[in-house]
Amino acid sequence: MSMSIQDAAHLLVTYLLEDLERYRPRFPVSDEEWQFLVQHARSANLPDKFFPFFAEVVTRYAEVEGKRGKQWRKQAFDYAAGGLAKKLALFDAAKAFLAKNKMPVDMYAYDTSYHNPVKRPSVGELVGYLSQFKNKKELDTERESAWKANVLVDDENWFIMVPKSHADAVRFAHRYGRCGTKWCISVSGDEASWRNYYEDFRGHFVFVYDKRSNRKYSVSSYSAGAIKGYMELLREYYNSQHIQRPKAEINQIVSDWLQNVRGIVVHDQEDNRIDSGELKKLLGADLWSLIVSHLKQQGGMYE
């Protein structure tokens, strides 16, 4: 005979309750409140060893709030249990983070009272630190979300994205697609070049991957204000007392440098500068216009 959904749910709840029943005598709660605590703990994957701490925090909080009335006690359970179990479930993963912040790595070293803790640190402080902590899974999820948010095009022919960090540049250059690059801004473990171009020159990049030919391209432009400021630094440097280059030579140095940063700058995966018209022809007018429009919107362009 098949089991109904309701019967299956009842058996599951019974199992969950029985599994933690040994702790029940320690807590002055109703059957409904006990079931509430167990279900929150289970849904958050809270280890059994932490359940007594979790239950004590919630019941102590509810006892204080309950003095104001039954409804206050119910709201206290909803409020305290709702997010607390998920936070405490991070405890083992966060031990190194807690130790780094000179906090105990034994959960039972924390006072369980939210209202009037008699010792320090308290559960309130613990929750504060756990709220700051992000485990590897959360960080990976955030990075993946940020990566996807920076993708402009991803179809059968092209992958076009906007790197917003050195990590993005490294991932695109070395872990996306079937080829690497020789770009200095995407050297793993060395952020100096990325900071130089992205922050000092206020450069903006669009990375392009041609899925058909397995080729990568970097398309960049630089802020007019940053370029003009750097031009002045170049002039000052070559005109300084210990260098003293002739004015004509300084002008030529600045002019040559400007050719490398003026307008749209395109490099292939070997870090060779190529004519932007070549990539424009490959992409087509619509995709090229999308890239140029994005660069101009992000930080202007020295032309």
pLDDT in tens, 213-248: 999 999 988 777 777 777 787 788 888 867 778 888
The pLDDT assigned to 11 comes to: 39
Q: Are strands 203-210 and 215-222 parallel, antiparallel or unpaired?
A: antiparallel
The pLDDT assigned to 54 comes to: 92
Give dist(CA 79, CA 82) in Å, integer: 6
List residues bridging with 161 in a β-sheet.
151, 207
Give dist(CA 176, CA 87) in Å, integer: 34
pLDDT tens digits, 157-185: 999 999 988 888 988 988 888 888 999 99
Domain regions of the chain by residue span: 5-133, 140-299
Residue of 63 and 212 predicted with greater confidence: 212
Give Cα 45 distance to the centre of its chain.
Answer: 23
Order across the sheet with 151-154: list the strands: 151-154, 158-161, 203-210, 215-222, 265-268, 273-274
The pLDDT assigned to 154 comes to: 93
Give dist(CA 112, CA 60) in Å, integer: 8
Measured N-to-C along each axis, helices 70-88 and 123-132 cross at an angle, to the nearest 10 degrees, of 50
Average pLDDT over residues 72-84: 77
Structure tokens at 36: 């509430």
Lowest mean pLDDT among 11-15, 129-133, 140-144: 11-15
